[in-house]
Amino acid sequence: MGITNREFKKRRKEIMSRMEPNSIGLLSSAPECLRNNDAEYQYRQNSDFYYLTGFTEPHAILALVPGREQGEVILFCREKNEEKELWTGYILGPEAAIDSLKIDDAYPIEDVDEIISGLIEGKDRIYYSMGRDDHFDRQVMTWVKNLRNNAKVGPPPPSEFQVLDHLLHELRLIKSPAEIKLMEKAAKISAEGHKAAMNRCVPGAKEYELEAELQYAFTRSGSRSPAYQSIVGAGDNACVLHYNSNKAEIKKGDLVLIDAGCEYEYYASDITRTFPASGKFTKEQKLIYEIVLLAQKEAIKAIKPGNTWDAPHNASVKVITKGLLELGLLKGSLSRLIKSQEYRRYYMHRVGHWIGMDVHDVGDYKIDGHWRLLEPGMVTTIEPGIYISPSDNSISKKWRGIGIRIEDDVLVTKTGYRILSTGIPKTVVEIETHMSTKVN
């Protein structure tokens, strides 16, 4: 399972076919990042760079030169160095890179300044992701400046700069069968983590103990990192959208909101479940839960090719506003509450986002100012929620501090949708049954 060299090559061909004639595309690997003093954060390749190469090392630059007779795909990477490898591990090196990555040429990264002018020279435009990496921005500008300084004797430097992002991200937005398989695998691993955390939850435990269950399930199955910091929020903490300190004690009447997903082979999952610490929902928790669950169901039903990206969101807003109105938590007419967005007091985020190599994945949501249409191969999260502020004195105490989100990853298919994150208890009955059947 994974992305084959053939698919990486196809992606490069496709991006090059979308570039204007006489252009060069330049990409840089992700920089290494210090956590403290000599200790680095775990290295993760830039998603765009990986998408086009499958190469996972730092200190690399990729040049795409469509139409270049001697070879269109050129990689600059670290040279092999046995002494260094003894400390930092395996380095592929330019020689092996050609065959291993099925590219046309590879050179030591130390030689990039010297070689790249020859590749840029005579080109009309440069595609690259400007403004994202200061070091790379400076590098590209230095190459252009050097060409300008030589322009009296050589051709003028490129006069156009275009963001590569747009072309590339439209490709990344539509997932191939191999990508979908990896996303399903990521979701499957995450499902194990969610099930374990839910099952092992007992009042008195600390939030981080459940985070440990997730982490154990992720790592044990070959995920090298969560796709984002896991959120384990009990009680009032469930109302903090990006809570991740995960240090509080879980109390008996609390709801526990877990928003966690692993990354597997560069593909993310993003899943949320909310469950009662004691294993049984209270009456109020259940009432709110059923609204969120129905909102998710209706939002998912709105996923099909030809519907706008906004359709699932609108479906969720309708269910949530109606539900809160029926419980007396909102007052007024349904249509006015929706129009004035008063529901945002309890449901303040959108229903989802693209997901892929990045958890909040690339790809435009609007085209020419209008919500784009869903197409087969797109993957979006569907994650409605209701969060009732613990300090909202204008409503009855019994509702305060209830925070519920339910999130799944959903693929747009030719005829509708397919949920990729399956097998995790979701209905009230499923959750209560799962929690009452303790496994060790």
CA angle 260, 186, 213 (to 5 degrees): 45
How far apart are alpha carbons 289 and 281 in whole angstroms?
A: 9
Residue 221 is which amino acid? S
Residue closer to ligand GLY (CB basis): 73 or 359 = 359
Verify binding: residue 270, ligand GLY, rule CB under 6 A. Answer: yes
Task: Indicate if 242 belongs to the active site.
Answer: yes
Write the binding mask 269 to 288 for Mn ion: x where contact by CB under 5 A, - elsewhere: -x------------------
**Minimum distance from residue 407 beta carbon to ligand GLY (Å):** 6
Residue closer to ligand GLY (CB basis): 78 or 353 = 353
How far apart are alpha carbons 375 and 97 in whole angstroms?
A: 35
Residue 254 contact among Mn ion, ligand GLY, none, beta carbon within 5 to 8 Å by kind: none
How far apart are alpha carbons 321 and 333 in whole angstroms?
A: 10
259, 298, 408, 409: residue in contact with ligand GLY (rule CB under 6 A) = 259
Does residue 285 sit in helix, strand or coil?
Answer: helix
Write the binding mask 366 to 385 for ligand GLY: x where contact by CB under 6 A, - elsewhere: -----------------x--
**Minimum distance from residue 433 beta carbon to ligand GLY (Å):** 26
Joined together, the tokens standing for residue 303 give: 């996923």
Judge whether 222 and 236 are in contact, CB under 8 Å: no
Task: Indicate if 259 belongs to the active site.
Answer: yes
**Minimum distance from residue 433 beta carbon to Mn ion (Å):** 24
Task: Indicate if 349 belongs to the active site.
Answer: yes
For the segment 50-109, give every residue that binds ligand GLY (CB under 6 A). none
Residue closer to ligand GLY (CB basis): 139 or 381 = 381
Task: Indicate if 213 belongs to the active site.
Answer: no
Verify binding: residue 228, ligand GLY, rule CB under 6 A. Answer: yes
**Minimum distance from residue 200 beta carbon to Mn ion (Å):** 21
Choose, from 254, 353, 417, 434, the residue flagged as catalytic.
Answer: 353
Task: Indicate if 194 belongs to the active site.
Answer: no
Candidates 97, 179, 166, 81; CA nearest to 128 is: 166
Residue closer to ligand GLY (CB basis): 325 or 359 = 359
Task: Indicate if 137 belongs to the active site.
Answer: no
**Residue 415: count of CB within 10 angstroms of its CB:** 9
Task: Indicate if 361 belongs to the active site.
Answer: no
**Residue 141: count of CB within 10 angstroms of its CB:** 12
Task: Indicate if 407 belongs to the active site.
Answer: yes
Which helix (DSSP H) or strand (DSSP E) does residue 408 occupy? strand 408-412
What's the alpha-carbon Rg for the chain, to the nearest Å?
Answer: 25
Judge whether 274 and 255 are in contact, CB under 8 Å: yes
Choose, from 179, 207, 270, 408, the residue flagged as catalytic.
Answer: 270
Helix-then-strand count for the chain, H and E: 13, 21
259, 265, 310, 361: residue in contact with Mn ion (rule CB under 5 A) = 259
Place of tokens 């209270």: 282
Q: Which residues contact 349 (CB under 8 A, 6 or more apart)?
A: 241, 383, 385
Verify binding: residue 53, Mn ion, rule CB under 5 A. Answer: no
Task: Indicate if 360 belongs to the active site.
Answer: yes
Write the binding mask 211 to 250 for Mn ion: x where contact by CB under 5 A, - elsewhere: ----------------------------------------
Helices 5-18 and 165-173: crossing angle, nearest 10°? Answer: 130
64: left (phi over 0), alpha (psi -120 to 50) or beta: beta
Residue closer to ligand GLY (CB basis): 178 or 240 = 240
Task: Indicate if 387 belongs to the active site.
Answer: yes
Candidates 280, 273, 246, 262; CA nearest to 426 is: 273
Choose, from 78, 273, 405, 434, the residue flagged as catalytic.
Answer: 405
Residue 228 contact among ligand GLY, Mn ion, none, beta carbon within 5 to 8 Å by kind: ligand GLY
Joined together, the tokens standing for residue 428 give: 């009230």
Interaction site with ligand GLY (CB under 6 A): 228, 259, 270, 353, 383, 407
Interaction site with Mn ion (CB under 5 A): 259, 270, 381, 407
Catalytic residues: 38, 242, 259, 270, 349, 353, 360, 383, 387, 405, 407
